[in-house]
Amino acid sequence: MTARTLDVSVVALPDTGVATMFGVLDVLNSFALMGIGDPAAPAPFRARIVGADEGPLMGVSGVPVPVSRAVGDIEKTDIVIVPSIVLGADGWQTGRYPELVDWASRMHEQGALLCSACSGIFLLAETGRFDDRDVTVHYDYATQLRRAHPDVRVHPERALLVTGARDELVTSGASTTWHDLVLYLTGRFAGAALAQETARMFALQWHQDGLAPYMVFEGRTDHGDAVIADAQDWLRTHYPVAAPVEQLVVRSGLAERTFKRRFTEATGVSPLTYVQRLRVEEAKRRLEQTEESVEAIGWHVGYEDPAFFRRLFKRVTGLPPGAYRKRYRVPAIQATIR
């Protein structure tokens, strides 16, 4: 735990989503503002919004953001946080903010932690500090991040990842996993008890089950292999049938080994894994929206053995079917609204 107040620089870009940024800012400044923790001790953090220029910045959501300091005037900071960035239809354009990238890299050289919330990793990855490191990002942006930075190992199913020689590189995943980020920083620098008090005060959550339950499987279709594309199209409606992989091989007219190799190369997963993921996605939908038993759902998606279905479902989503239904089904109060 630190005995002094740490300086936290929350980086604002024109692409920044303000909800995450202001959430991070409010929680890290709450110890002084709301009297959380020992009033005689220094507040663990002093967070402020920084950017390329001082003054008002219009965020992507149309909300003005007050940038208190330009990064060119900041010689030292303890923690750099880049919050969520909204990626447009063209995705992230590398090289748009060289001044911010150079500044973040320089702060890291001086000992600062580099932290991202959700898609903020796109900016920080340009520093090169995350090459050959494990990071997480919003699952919808994972493919784009891998393409932009092939040397970065991307794990979108993880809520929080801490890496680096000094544990100084911290990434949080989709959307509200900024909760995990601020609670991690609080626990690390102010102690577990204060992190728990903060979680209780703000009703923040640690995503201890990871993000796999939220992820929707969508097989790759940009591979250009017509035979595999036809197989994928057939599977959209025939995934519950018995022995679907064997039927795919017959339909393709290819040798079994050739078909499986081409399918894996095209989609990134084996035919069997592809079928399993499609079946689990339908099972998730039924668990969320129906009252069917777990056994009935398993049978509907193609599994006669309920025990095998339960094991597979947990392996893919991280949760048993019953726990998944309890967490993700529409609440009763919402279901009554017409």
Express each pLDDT in 23-68 by its tens digit: 999 999 998 777 777 777 888 999 999 999 999 998 888 889 999 9
Q: Which two tokens stand for residue 13?
A: 């870009």
Confidence at residue 4, expressed as pLDDT on a 0 to 100 scale: 87
| Number of neighbours of residue 332 by Cβ within 10 angstroms | 7
* Angle, helices 271-289/256-267, rounded to nearest 10 degrees: 60
SS3 280: helix
| Number of neighbours of residue 90 by Cβ within 10 angstroms | 6
Cβ atoms of 42 and 74 closer than 8 Å? no
Which residues, 6+ apart, have CB-to-CB distance to 221 below 8 Å? 229, 232
In our burial notation (b when 16+ CB lie closer than 10 A, e otherwise), range 170-199 reads bbbbbbbbbbbbbbbbbbbbbeeebbebbb
Confidence at residue 209, expressed as pLDDT on a 0 to 100 scale: 80
Confidence at residue 101, expressed as pLDDT on a 0 to 100 scale: 98
List, in sequence order, the alpha helices (H) in 219-270: 226-238, 244-252, 256-267
β-pair type (134-135, 55-58): unpaired
SS3 49: strand
Tens-digit pLDDT string for the chain (338 aa): 667 899 999 999 999 989 999 999 999 999 877 777 777 788 899 999 999 999 999 888 888 999 999 999 999 999 999 999 998 778 889 999 999 999 999 999 999 999 999 999 999 999 999 999 999 999 999 999 999 999 999 999 999 999 999 999 999 998 899 999 999 999 999 999 999 999 999 999 898 888 888 888 888 888 999 999 999 999 999 999 999 999 999 999 999 999 999 999 999 899 999 999 999 999 999 999 999 999 999 999 999 999 999 999 999 998 999 999 998 887 765 544 44
Element containing residue 7 per DSSP (H, E): strand 6-11
Q: What residues are paired with 64 via a beta bridge?
A: 58
Q: Which two tokens stand for residue 47?
A: 């967070």
Whole-angstrom Cα distance, residue 207 to residue 112?
25
Taking alpha carbons only, the member of 115, 58, 47 closest to residue 84 is 115
**Under the phi-then-psi rule, with left for phi > 0, alpha for psi from -120 to 50, and beta for the rest, what region is 266?**
alpha
Whole-angstrom Cα distance, residue 40 to residue 318?
43
Element containing residue 44 per DSSP (H, E): none
Which residues, 6+ apart, have CB-to-CB distance to 123 below 8 Å? 11, 13, 82, 85, 97, 100, 101, 104, 116
Confidence at residue 338, expressed as pLDDT on a 0 to 100 scale: 47
Confidence at residue 104, expressed as pLDDT on a 0 to 100 scale: 98
Taking alpha carbons only, the member of 107, 26, 39, 41 closest to residue 74 is 107
Q: Which two tokens stand for residue 173?
A: 């995943």
CA angle 141, 278, 215 (to 5 degrees): 30
SS3 290: coil
Cβ atoms of 122 and 15 closer than 8 Å? no
Element containing residue 78 per DSSP (H, E): none
Confidence at residue 217, expressed as pLDDT on a 0 to 100 scale: 87
Q: Which two tokens stand for residue 211?
A: 């993000």
Q: What residues are paired with 85 via a beta bridge?
A: 16
Confidence at residue 337, expressed as pLDDT on a 0 to 100 scale: 47
This prediction has a pTM of 0.81
